[in-house]
Amino acid sequence: MPKNVAVLVGSLRSGSINRKLAHALEGLGGDKLTFENVEIGDLPLYNEDLWAEVPAPVTRMKRQIEAADGVLIVSPEYNRGYPGILANTFDWGSRPSGQSSFTRKPVGIIGATGGATGTAAGQQHLRLAAVNLGMIVMHAPEMYITWNSERFGPDGEIKSDDTRKLLQGFVDAFAAFVDKHG
């Protein structure tokens, strides 16, 4: 039976290459993984006062994370770090104290950018945040994707056999990781 993976995309832009990458990875999951995109763009900015009447998007997000066997974070890199939308998601998902939705969840991290170094620096910050959230982090293979027209089509379809092989290796490793730790 395939493992259920909650997908957090660290970009809200409709044409986001990381959203396209997440979709491409979903196509490689085969019979090992099913992917559920978790909407995080509708989460209010974290405010502890809101716990008095928990916003519906927060409840929905927490339930999706809790129901998943693993979490996949697909994120751009902003200013050598990760986007604030993910920090906000981590704040909501890790609270109230003692009720974190992220604890003991296996997590894989991947990201794409048009730049040569991919999302290497941002992913290091994400790995640290994930450890602090009590998640079980897949440290290898690390995957920093340089997005270009030789590798991907305009809608995110994988054009290069080498890229497909590389991404399939990541998905297969993540599936094994979730199977072991989920």
With a cut of 70, list the residues of the chain below it in pLDDT: none
**Identity (one letter) of the amino acid at 106?**
P
- Mean pLDDT score of the chain, rounded to an integer? 96
pLDDT of residue 118: 78
User: At the top level of CATH, which class does the domain 3-181 belong to?
Assistant: alpha beta
pLDDT of residue 36: 98
H/E stretch holding 9 reads strand 3-9
163 Cβ contact list (under 8 Å, min separation 6): 151, 152
129 Cβ contact list (under 8 Å, min separation 6): 82, 86, 87, 90
pLDDT of residue 117: 77
pLDDT of residue 84: 97
Q: And the tokens for 95?
A: 């609270």
The pLDDT tens digits of the residues spanning 76-124 come to 999 999 999 999 999 999 999 999 999 999 999 999 998 877 799 999 9
Question: Is there a contact between 56 and 100 (Cβ–Cβ < 8 Å)?
Answer: no
Distance CA 156, CA 83 (A): 21
Measuring CA to CA, which residue among 124, 128, 21 is closest to residue 72? Answer: 21
pLDDT of residue 45: 98
pLDDT of residue 178: 98
Measuring CA to CA, which residue among 92, 83, 73 is closest to residue 143? Answer: 73
Q: And the tokens for 12?
A: 């809200």
**Domain boundaries along the sequence of the chain:** 3-181
